[in-house]
């Protein structure tokens, strides 16, 4: 039985004050949604604050990106060992905004996934097609290619310690959500791709849905057999909405 994970990607939002308030709100309601795992992903500079606020709680934290390198002359980058200093449990890799706005290729994403795993930080690998790709009927080809880059580098066993997030790019931040069946179809495809290599790993890998998930649609999405939680952007900036999404997964 896979436990559901509800993860909040805060993107480049928040301030020290707003983050304190947001975490107070989430902590206050966390016990009521204890049947699902919760995690938050602040901007790097607030990692210390988040660690301080969440240590000893049931809520995990991580970052939205990491460098593929462990240290060195990479101005502006943040390395995995630095995330270890702040006890990050997870790191998001290959978010579509990283792929499209910052040119991260499938190979770079695979190396970031590997860098995280090497340190015992669980990568959340984001995959997903653009609207154009969906309309051309190549969703599975795109998602399969994104997944294969990681499988080629790291092998199927790597997914014993990793999470996948299916995030159709056309649904991120647009208010347009995939229908539960559209999402389920791609989740089932991802699980089948893993199962070709190792059915046991495929059965235990958590596959989250991301893309305008909110309290009103979270229940029907998470009721689908291959949807194991959500990666939430906008709605994760509001404690009540984030908790309501988690509640829908309980």
Q: Among 68, 97, 167, 241, which one carries the catalytic annotation?
A: 167
CB atoms within 10 A of CB 80: 24
Q: Is 187 a catalytic residue?
A: no
Q: How far is the CB of 100 from ligand PEP (least distance, A)?
A: 12
Q: Is 77 a catalytic residue?
A: no
Identity of the residue, 14 or 210, whose beta carbon is nearer to ligand PEP in the bound complex: 210
Identity of the residue, 14 or 234, whose beta carbon is nearer to ligand PEP in the bound complex: 234
Q: Among 68, 95, 133, 154, which one carries the catalytic annotation?
A: 95
100 vs 122: CA distance, rounded Å: 23
Which residue number is nearest to ligand PEP in terms of Cβ? 233
In 3D space, the residue among 14, 69, 5 whose CA is nearest the CA of residue 39 turns out to be: 5
Q: How far is the CB of 167 from ligand PEP (least distance, A)?
A: 5
Identity of the residue, 57 or 238, whose beta carbon is nearer to ligand PEP in the bound complex: 238
Maximum Cα interatomic distance, the chain, rounded to a whole number of Å: 48
Q: How far is the CB of 10 from ligand PEP (least distance, A)?
A: 9
Identity of the residue, 163 or 201, whose beta carbon is nearer to ligand PEP in the bound complex: 163
Q: What is the signed CA dihedral for 154, 155, 158, 163, rounded to 10 degrees?
A: 90
Q: How far is the CB of 227 from ligand PEP (least distance, A)?
A: 13
Helical spans, DSSP H, in the chain: 16-30, 47-54, 80-85, 96-101, 106-118, 131-135, 139-154, 180-197, 199-204, 215-222, 239-248
Q: Which residues bind ligand PEP (CB under 6 A)?
A: 9, 167, 172-173, 210-213, 231-235
Is residue 245 within 8 Å of 214, Cβ to Cβ? Answer: yes
Please identify every residue annotated as catalytic. Answer: 95, 167
């Amino acid at each position: 039985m896979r436990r559901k994970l509800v993860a909040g990607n805060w993107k480049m939002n928040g301030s020290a004050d707003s983050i304190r308030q947001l975490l107070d709100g989430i902590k206050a309601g966390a016990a009521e949604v204890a049947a699902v795992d919760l995690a938050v992903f602040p901007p790097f500079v607030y990692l210390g604050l988040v660690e301080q606020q969440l240590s000893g709680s049931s809520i995990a934290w991580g970052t939205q990106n990491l460098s593929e390198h462990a240290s060195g002359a990479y101005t502006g980058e943040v390395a995995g060992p630095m995330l270890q200093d702040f006890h990050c449990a997870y790191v998001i890799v290959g978010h579509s905004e990283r792929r499209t706005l910052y040119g991260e290729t499938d190979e770079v994403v695979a190396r970031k996934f590997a860098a995280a795993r090497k340190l015992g930080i669980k990568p959340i690998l984001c995959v997903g097609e653009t609207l154009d790709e969906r309309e051309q009927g190549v969703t599975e080809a795109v998602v399969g290619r994104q997944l294969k880059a990681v499988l080629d580098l790291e092998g199927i066993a790597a997914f014993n310690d990793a999470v996948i997030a299916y995030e159709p790019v056309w649904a991120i931040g647009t208010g347009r959500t995939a229908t539960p069946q559209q999402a389920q179809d791609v989740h089932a495809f991802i699980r089948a791709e893993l199962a070709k290599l190792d059915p046991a790993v495929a059965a235990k890998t958590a596959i989250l849905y991301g893309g305008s998930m909110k309290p009103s649609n979270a229940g029907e999405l998470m009721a689908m057999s291959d949807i194991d939680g959500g990666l939430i952007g906008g709605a994760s900036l509001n404690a009540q909405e984030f908790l309501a999404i988690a509640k829908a997964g309980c």
